[in-house]
Amino acid sequence: MERNRWETAIRCLEIAVHPNTSDEEAIAAIRGFRRTARNVAMSQLCHALSQAAPAHLLDRLDQLNQENRELRRRLAEAEDRRAAMLGDLGKAKRHAQKLGRDLLAAEERADTAEQRLAEFRGAYGQIAGGLQHENLDLRRALDEARRNLAQPIHEPVAAFKTVLGAALQRADQPQPGALPAPAPSWTA
């Protein structure tokens, strides 16, 4: 209410000093000022007006305060999201580093396996080459044996009597390291 009274008093002064205001209207405006201001000095009136903000400015100030609170809330939420994202980023970084170490170890194992495979292939090639040569030699020997079997045997076969005699003769000879047989005793 006080603010409206000051605003009315100032409006009366504006009318009094306006260039298109007649003298009678200026005197009436000054009297309206005096009645509204109620004998308050002009310096006090100016000071009161400077301290009291117009309603639209107060409303705007309230609106700006509310917007400021909303922006602070959004900023806090954004900061929380940022902190969460930094945490997730740290986890992802640690996971990527672990995966990098695992990948490096896997690459080393793969290199070792490839080296062993190459060594195995070399050894297998040597063995296979040796087996091929041996197989070829065996085939040649088999072919030669087949040819020999196909031809009649020209060597005379020893008579059975000669073979039997030699076997008996060996049976009569004492075996090395064997004890002589005891002589039979005669009894009457």
User: Which residues, including other chains, have CB under 8 Å from residue 8's CB and lie 6 or more apart?
Assistant: 36
The reply to whether 106 falls in a domain is: no
The reply to whether 170 falls in a domain is: no
The reply to whether 79 falls in a domain is: no
- What is the domain extent for residue 23? 1-52
Predicted local confidence at residue 90, as pLDDT: 94
Q: Which amino acid is at 171?
A: A
Which tokens hold the place of 163? 């073979």
Q: CB of 33 within 8 A of CB of 13? A: yes
* Structure confidence by residue, pLDDT tens digits, 56-88: 667 777 888 898 899 899 999 999 999 999 999
The residue assigned the tokens 């196909």 is 150
Residue 93 CA, chain-centre distance (Å), reads 8
Q: 3-class DSSP state for residue 164?
A: helix
Identify which of 3, 2, 9, 13 has the alpha carbon closest to the alpha carbon of residue 55: 3
Number of domains in the chain: 1
The reply to whether 119 falls in a domain is: no
Predicted local confidence at residue 159, as pLDDT: 73
The reply to whether 5 falls in a domain is: yes
Predicted local confidence at residue 176, as pLDDT: 58
The reply to whether 3 falls in a domain is: yes
The reply to whether 70 falls in a domain is: no
Q: Which residues of the chain have pLDDT under 70?
A: 1-3, 49-50, 52-57, 152-158, 173-188
The reply to whether 76 falls in a domain is: no
The number of residues making up the chain comes to 188
Predicted local confidence at residue 17, as pLDDT: 87
Which tokens hold the place of 108? 């080393």
